[in-house]
Amino acid sequence: MKDLHGRLELAEVAVSALQRGRGGGAAAGTTSSLGLPSGVKVDRPAPFTGKSLDSAAVENFVFAADLFFQLSGVASESAKAGMVLLWLREDAQVWWRSLSASHPMSTLTWSTLRGLLLA
């Protein structure tokens, strides 16, 4: 139940951040700064489990997240961080729970979270 409450809180923060920060310079009728047609759906990255200790797995996840944000037109750093936290599973979610007290959602940015993931 505690885990469900934590996931719900993360979801609420991500939705709130998305509502505040959607955008980022896309032309009218497009969803990204690259000019993708508005009907094109950009798939989100696969959830990251943290099972592999291989640094390439983390780097690939971060790269996929950055590409998703660019193509989707997500500009808000807090929205990006909230979305990535929702994509963490298993060991990666346990890792984040151990750090979350020292990195409150109210001030967390994708830049900070990205650095923590890649450290």
Dist CA 75 CA 69 (whole Å): 7
Q: Is 74 helix (H, G, I), strand (E, B) or coil?
A: strand
Structure tokens at 13: 């923060």
Each of the 119 residues of the chain gets a pLDDT tens digit; together they read: 555 445 545 555 454 544 444 443 343 344 455 667 778 888 999 999 999 878 999 999 999 999 999 998 899 999 999 999 999 999 999 999 999 999 999 999 999 999 999 99
Structure tokens at 94: 């346990």
Looking at residue 30, its pLDDT comes to: 41
Looking at residue 35, its pLDDT comes to: 65
Looking at residue 2, its pLDDT comes to: 54
